[in-house]
Copies of this chain bind each other. A is one copy, B any other.
Amino acid sequence: MQSSDADWRALPLSALGEFALIARLTRDLETRPDVVLSAGDDAALLDPGASSDTLLVATCDAQVEGRHFLRDIATPEEIGHKALAVNLSDIAAMGAEPLWALVSLMLPPELDVDVLDGVYAGMRALARRYDVAIVGGNVAATAGPLTLDVTLLGRVARNYALTRGGGRPGDALLVTGALGAAAAGLLAFVPPAMASARVSPDILALVRRALVAPEPRVAEGRALAAVDVVTALLDVSDGLVADLGHLCDASGVGAVVKADLVPIAPETVAVCSASGRDALELALAGGEDYELLCAVRPEGIERALDAVRAVGGVASPIGYLTDATRGISLQKRDGTTLPLPRAGWDHLRTALRSPDSDAGAG
């Protein structure tokens, strides 16, 4: 690998891209016998020892002003909410119970104290709802943008933990909630924000909320882990196709997504209509949905749907897994299929902007 490495050396990170960089940084990482699952899934699984029947779950995710949030779109409370929510989503994606958070703040010294008070209020309100204790953190000054880096720890019964890697050909694909609303929020609120003038305030409020304050599917994740029919689970943060690609890579399978089964909220359709955009494209590639995507043994579909329903959630079958050789394809209503590019959200290449710019980047 050394010779191909040399080709990268003069390159800036932006040319490498997020996923290639992560692969590079996590290649051949040292491990320990108590590391059950290391980098490469939504969270790590760690064995606390003493023949514990639960595993520790650990994840971290950062929100950077100008990249992940804009203060003229999100309130301080929403910024704090989202900083924790994205981590709750990763814990949910392991089927785990969130427990403890550490909050690391990179702060511009000129930031008003009341902004930070609001951020903390929003984060603490969400923490309370999930019985998460903020147990530590750090403050550092920065000459750069306001940045919140949250580490979230949780636990999961050893035999319940779900990864991206257990899917098999023939398994059904289920997704919670609806997709594309956060991407519609970008369309409506991030300049040039073409759609906002032509959409009702109620619609705008819904897609803005999806963008700035997503609701993590913690109860749904735990419910899916508790039924014995789910084979793989992850959250949809990079976009359905990109995250389905992660599931397929980890499971060694391909997938077919049925276009007319992909759940899209009415508000997403409304914003897309007003912008001349394809709502299905946003649902497939938009990113930041923070819904859960799982593979389910075919005979267990009803049990999985019931489990999500029992905690007040909603899930939809959207397709199935295939042999790896078939890749990932979209089956249109007329029965024809087309291969799906691995479009998605690349944090090193994209800032807050219209989400379609990434299409085909993968």
Q: Which A residues contact B (CB, under 8 angstroms)?
A: 8-14, 16, 18, 21-22, 24-26, 29-32, 34-35, 38-39, 43-44, 46, 48-50, 52-54, 56, 58-64, 66-68, 99-100, 102, 104, 106-114, 116-117, 120, 124, 127-128, 131-145, 147, 149, 151, 153, 155, 347-349, 351
Please give, as numbers and ranges, the residues of chain B lying within 8 Å of A145 by CB-CB distance: 142-144
Indicate whether A112 sits within 8 Å of B18 (C-beta atoms), given known contacts A64-B142, A348-B141: no
Quick one: which of A32, A56, A109, A127 has the most chain B CB within 10 A?
Answer: A109
Please give, as numbers and ranges, the residues of chain B lying within 8 Å of A144 by CB-CB distance: 64, 106, 142-145, 147
Copies in the complex: 2
CB distance from A151 to the nearest CB of B (A): 4
Chain B residue nearest to A133 (CB atoms) is B32
Please give, as numbers and ranges, the residues of chain B lying within 8 Å of A32 by CB-CB distance: 99-100, 131, 133
CB distance from A330 to the nearest CB of B (A): 29
Indicate whether A8 sits within 8 Å of B147 (C-beta atoms), given known contacts A39-B137, A62-B104, A134-B39: no
Quick one: which of A34, A46, A102, A124 has the most chain B CB within 10 A?
Answer: A102
Indicate whether A50 sits within 8 Å of B49 (C-beta atoms), given known contacts A44-B135, A111-B12: no
Indicate whether A347 sits within 8 Å of B14 (C-beta atoms), given known contacts A102-B58, A106-B62: no
Contact status A134-B59, CB under 8 Å: no
